[in-house]
Amino acid sequence: MAEVQLSGVRKRFGLVEALRGIDLAIPDSAYVCLLGPSGCGKTTLLRCVAGLETVDAGQIRIGSQNVEALEPFARNVGLAFQNYALYPHLDVRGNLSFPLRAPRRRTEFGDGEIEQRVKSIATLLQIDALLDKPIVALSGGQKQRVALGRALVRNPTVLLLDEPVTHLDARLRHEMRVELKLLQRRVGTTTIHVTHDQLEAQALGDLIVVMRDGLIEQVGTPDELCTRPATSFVASFVGDPPMSLLTARLGQEAGVLSLRVGAAQLRPGERLGRLLDGLCDQDVEIAVPAHHIALGHAGDEQTIAARVQAHEWVGRELQIVVALNGSPVPVRLRTQQRLALRIGDEIAIRLNLGSAHAFDSKTGRRLQSSAD
């Protein structure tokens, strides 16, 4: 097991700069999720650590060793893909033992040790009864366990997972998430897991690295990302549902700070007011957690007129997406009320800004006071 350290890592494909100077420290034995939308650079970063892509600049260290110039086999990493990448002409035993019988490893392990390792990892993954089964006879979940076993059988220093459960059905995804977490805790291998699913990242990651456009937006625990987002992108991307992001104009009415959102005037409250003090007549971005947005009554304080864009039941909660008058940004709210809503209906929503977050409208960076 080892720490993974990336310093100034850059990677370009033609005119596209996929990684734009990545600095990241992954602690020994941690489970770290790389999270972001498609095209953000997370898989490229994983492939650079694995040695499947060469970096254009920067350093990658695994433990005390610089590895950016090493071939993949010399880095002692295990890699599992979302599409399994299993050998269909081999049975489960053959697939698990293949990394130990590969030409560059053939002299390292005797037949007895190979069989012992295969049985040990198969028992750990609860596939020991499948060792003589052909790959085509396995279910999706069983194939994924075999792929994980093949990645782990060499006792890698770092385990790299590229969206390993994305293609599974919802029930099996949940089961595999639980198994992955328990497995990583048992073996203690430093693990880097790529996903675009923020629920998956929150369920698995000790730390989550949020990426966008080849850059890191924030590194933090699942709780830190939800309670102290570093950028407006993180606030609008992480969470179920994520925070609603509103553009507001800061002004004053009778010497009291106010936020104009569309046609409505809102009071920022004491905590948010301290953050915004001195920014009069400027635009700011306000992120409001979904549980602090509720249905209101037209004309009440802290309410905004909105129009229903979509609605759906999620469990016992009705999730509503609305557009604000004067604001193109959808606002998501949850309610357990039984409502007969139609697309286009006008409703009033009430915003509780007590736990809202403020961001610079130009840079997207979090605004914070010295007390934060």
Q: What is the CATH number of the domain that holds 320?
A: 2.40.50.140
Cα gap 49→270, rounded to integer Å: 46
The pLDDT value given to residue 338 = 78
The pLDDT value given to residue 253 = 72
Structural domain range at position 96: 4-236
Diameter of the chain by CA atoms?
Answer: 84
- Digitized pLDDT (tens) for each residue of the chain, 372 residues in all: 789 999 999 999 999 999 999 999 999 999 999 999 999 999 999 999 999 999 999 999 999 999 999 999 899 999 988 777 899 999 999 999 998 887 666 667 888 999 999 999 999 888 999 999 999 999 888 888 899 899 999 889 999 999 988 877 788 788 888 888 888 998 899 999 999 999 999 999 999 999 999 999 999 999 999 999 999 999 999 988 889 898 888 887 767 788 888 778 888 888 888 888 777 888 899 999 988 888 888 878 888 888 888 888 887 788 888 887 655 567 777 777 778 888 888 888 888 888 899 999 999 999 986 555
Residues 222 and 323 in one domain: no
Residues 228 and 288 in one domain: no
- Of 175, 205, 171, 168, nearest to 35 by C-alpha is 205
Structural domains in the chain (count)? 2
Residues 215 and 109 in one domain: yes
The pLDDT value given to residue 183 = 87
Strands (E), 198-282: 207-212, 215-220, 244-253, 256-261, 264-266
Cα gap 245→194, rounded to integer Å: 26
Residues 335 and 222 in one domain: no
In-domain check, residue 369: no
The pLDDT value given to residue 222 = 96
Residues 108 and 162 in one domain: yes
Could you give the strand order of the β-sheet that contains 57-62, starting from the edge strand earlier in sequence? Answer: 16-26, 4-13, 57-62, 65-66
In-domain check, residue 370: no
Q: What is the CATH number of the domain that holds 227?
A: 3.40.50.300
Residues 164 and 229 in one domain: yes
Residues 316 and 277 in one domain: yes
The pLDDT value given to residue 129 = 93
Q: Which of 202, 236, 270 is the last residue before a domain boundary?
A: 236
216 with 208: CB under 8 angstroms? no
